[in-house]
Structure 1
Amino acid sequence: MKRSVAIIGAGIAGLSCADVLTAEGWKVTLFDKGRKAGGRMASRRIETALGEASFDFGAQYFTVRDDGFAGQVSRWADAGLAVRWPDAGSDAWIGIPAMNAVVREMAARHEVRFTHHVSGLAREGTQWRLLGEGMPGEQFDAAVLALPAEQAAPILTLHDFELARTALFARSQPCWSGMFAFEAPLPHRADILRNHGILAWAARDSAKPGRNGPESWVVQTTPQWSTAHLERAPEEIAPLLLAALQDATGSHVHAPVAHSVHRWRYALSAGTGLGCLWNEKLLIGACGDWLLGPRVECAWMSGQKLGKRILGAARAAA
């Protein structure tokens, strides 16, 4: 009989785990509170009088070190979904036409139910049922939490305290991300700025390979500054980020024709080095970059590791 698994979180870790399981015939259903695929590889488009501005406001690029991930990136590149970004480094890659292109391609291969906010899990006999407003009454053989550690911990606490304790100690750092579109190019030669004042990163997104549209910049603040200003309103943060960009470029920055600000509460994970978490008796586990390291590649690898561990446990129990 085909075994079923519910994966909560349709970012790259959850989708990577789904790839492994569906390849072996498992019935996988992913649930995500967002409206579309992306997670921290999110992209946003904003209409302006100068045309559509595009911003990669989460992960700015990804690197490739693992052989398995290298194969995945090669397939994305062959499909025209990923390309190198030399300005960010010799091993830097980005999605085309936006960072979320690769995650959307992964999601298209699976059953993903967006705008489903899972608040918890109920154990009913040997099955799992998802809790939350509008959740289906269906049951699943296994459950996977592909969530930041801070969101996975309270769900795990009710079922496996050892797994929950691992998540409780895996703290993430926050980040404010600002998106600004301008009428004319900023008079600054470099397309990337790192570690200037409150800014950990600033990049001319419109200069990335495969991008077009008006002059567009993404700026991201340091973890220390983000933590100190975490609960401020976005409308208070926007002018501070704009002033920081002006200071970083050393030139006058005109008022943007469009802008948006996003708060990432769980932006940067420290990484526990465990790879994944799995309780083979209850059939519940977790994956994500927080279980390896703060890179896109680590999220993909964690999902792969958990998928293979689930399959190995299933074969051993057969």
Structure 2
Amino acid sequence: MKIAIVGAGLAGLTAATDLAAGGHEVALFDKARGPGGRMSTRRIETLQGTAYFDHGTQYFTVRDPGFVDQVAAWEAAGVAARWPAAGENAWVGTPGMNAIIKALAAPLDVTWQCRIAALEQTGDGWRLTHDGGNVEADAVVVAVPAEQVADLMPAGAEAWGTLAKSTISAPCWTVMAAFDTPLARAGDVLRDAGPIGWAARNSAKPGRTGPESWVIQGSPAWSAAHLEDDADAVIAALLSAFARATGESLPEPLTAQAHRWRYALSGAAGKTALWDEMLKLGLCGDWLIGPRIESAWASGRALAAVIAER
């Protein structure tokens, strides 16, 4: 089949990889400017060179035997490495979290900066509408956050839209700050300190270069309460909380930016993947299983397996 996949995050790319290996013609469409999504890495120029920040997902863990093999392949390819500071079973992409997404996307047909606005059934397939025109396909896979699924669901898939609407993601404010000298605080990771859910010395992750760089993320509750705050106010609040938690007088940052993730931590719908053989329509994503990188991978792989079986 000619299969169009809406969303080129880990779930969509995993499904696409397996479907392409099975002989299907696969094309992916993503509204982002490039690979990453919640596994993005931000580059910011400073007076001490380029600072790098994994400002979304900080690390991932590995449990499923199939995912163990996948991560071993990523490690062998040089795009993943262990990060003991976050735990015995913690892994990161190298030299940035987005390296894994870049590697998966490279051999595939991905159109970036392309927002699919509508799905319409035709006599024998689908028409996907975007700002530049239309795309025709025999089947469609939707691999976007739950909050974006409902608006794309056509007639016959209303129940999936309802399921997505009821699976709520938690938001996260992230502050990215670089300094001209290393902070004296011992350790590279801080968890659950007042409004801070997580903070990490990003420059200490394997394969990183550049000046002293920290990612400071608000807790889900704090981020939700301050979701509509101005970015400058969020930067001030989280840097102040970080200074209090570490007992450190922070130097003036070389740079400090904030990013608001409205859909940071997915909910869990209690499914693995969804496929309607009559409609030739499928859903995959971490929101079906739970808020883990491995869940996105497992959902994409499961959907590809179901399509191959049917």
TM over 0.5: yes
Could you tell me which residue of structure 1 aligns to residue 172 of structure 2? 175
Q: In percent, how many aligned pairs have the same letter?
A: 49
Q: CA deviation at 1:79?
A: 1.1
Whether 1:244 and 2:241 are equivalent positions in the alignment is yes
Q: Aligned with 2:58: secondary structure?
A: coil
Alignment partner of 1:259 is 2:256: yes
Larger deviation, residues 227-236 vs 285-294: 227-236
Please give the secondary structure, in 1, of the residue aligned with 2:183: coil
Give distance in 1, aligned partners of 2:143 and 2:257. Answer: 27
Q: Is the 8 A contact 1:54 1:205 kept in 2?
A: yes
Task: Report 1:153-172 matches (<5 A).
Answer: 153-156=150-153, 158-172=155-169
Structure 1 match to 2:12: 14
Matches within 5 A, 1:116-131: 116-131=114-129
Would you identify which runs of 4 or more consecutive aligned residues in structure 1 move more than 2 Å?
none
What runs of 5+ residues in structure 1 fail to find an aligned partner?
A: 314-318
Secondary structure of 1:267's aligned partner = strand
What is residue 300 of structure 2 aligned with on the other side? 303
Deviation at 1:270, TM superposition (A): 2.4
Displacement of 1:273 = 2.6
1:200 aligns with 2:194: no
The whole-number CA distance in structure 1 between the counterparts of 2:204 and 2:39 is: 18
Partner of 1:102: 100
TM-fit CA distance, 1:159? 4.1
Query: SS at the partner of 2:101?
Result: helix
Matching of residues 42-61 of structure 1 within 5 Å: 42-61=40-59
1:209-288 counterparts in 2 under 5 A? Answer: 209-288=206-285
Give the 3-state SS of the residue equivalent to 2:116 in structure 1: coil
Once the two structures are TM-superposed, the CA of residue 132 in structure 1 deviates from its matched residue by 2.5
The amino acid of 1:240's aligned partner reads A
Question: Hey, what's the Cα distance between the residues in 2 that align with 1:244 and 1:125?
Answer: 58
Count of equivalent residues? 310
Q: Which amino acid aligns with 1:269?
A: S
Alpha-carbon contact 1:174-1:223 (below 8 Å) kept = yes
The 3-state SS of whatever aligns with 2:182 is: coil
* Map of 1:316 onto structure 2: none
Task: Name the Cα RMSD after superposition.
Answer: 1.1
Gaps in structure 2 of 5+ consecutive residues: none
Task: Pick which of 270-279 and 63-72 moved more.
Answer: 270-279
Contact 2:129 2:135 in 1 (8 A): no
Q: Could you tell me whether the CA contact under 8 Å between 2:119 and 2:154 is conserved in 1?
A: no
Structure 1 residue 39 corresponds to structure 2 residue 33: no
